[in-house]
Amino acid sequence: MMKAQPDPIATPAPEIVVFDLGKVLVDFDYGIAARSIADRSTKVLEEVVDFFMHSPLLYRYETGLLTTHEFYKAVCAATGYCGNLEEFAHSFGDIFSPIEPMIQLQAAVRGKGFPTYIFSNTNDLAVCHIRRQFPFFSNFDGYILSYEHEAMKPDARLYEVVEDRTGRRGPAILYLDDRPENLATGAARQWQVLLHQSPAQTRRALDELGVLDLS
């Protein structure tokens, strides 16, 4: 567990809990999208995978510099994809599966009276699919999504949005993420931060921080 302050005794209890989305609340595999797109393109699977791994398009899409239609047209031009936008949206968005223990954990945190927020590097197609397919997504007090703010974690500008949206600063914020570089920016702002490695470990850490009472 990473913490913003080295002495846990001196750290006040958090007031809100901020969750990353991918690999925390939902798992994902862009290989699923690549296979589906390759089936309708002039490129073989390896070429499509290489394109998504090395093209700046996804970064531009997830920072809101491309609209969904512009992203779709650019993928079509690069891969020869011949499906329509609706088909592409399904192929690109249907890559997620819920991480049920973490979804239950978020519900328990909210049940203890803590406001919860999603803070994610993501895109419009992904969010539309998750919102449509997974009811848990509606059970948050707010959402800070990279594509809506033209910045991605660990850019400090996006963390400022979290503070503005939630009205909290410093250790009042407890932030869960699976990527240490994202947590580092939060820790630099004196947030309490927790490296998510497994649902069981995260549950124990939340209990130690007083967010859950498992005794």
Confidence class for position 5, pLDDT limits 50, 70, 90: very low
| Nearest-angstrom CA–CA distance, 35 and 143 | 30
Q: In the chain, what percentage of residues exceed pLDDT 70? A: 94
CA distance 200 to 124: 30
Q: How confident is the model at residue 6 (pLDDT cuts 50, 70, 90)?
A: very low
Helix, coil or strand: residue 119:
strand
Which domains does the chain possess?
8-27+98-208 (3.40.50.1000), 30-93 (1.10.150.240)
β strands within the chain, DSSP E: 16-19, 26-28, 96-98, 116-120, 142-145, 173-177, 192-195
Rounded average pLDDT over 106-124 = 97
In this prediction, residue 4 has a pLDDT band, given cuts at 50, 70 and 90, of very low
pLDDT of residue 12: 85
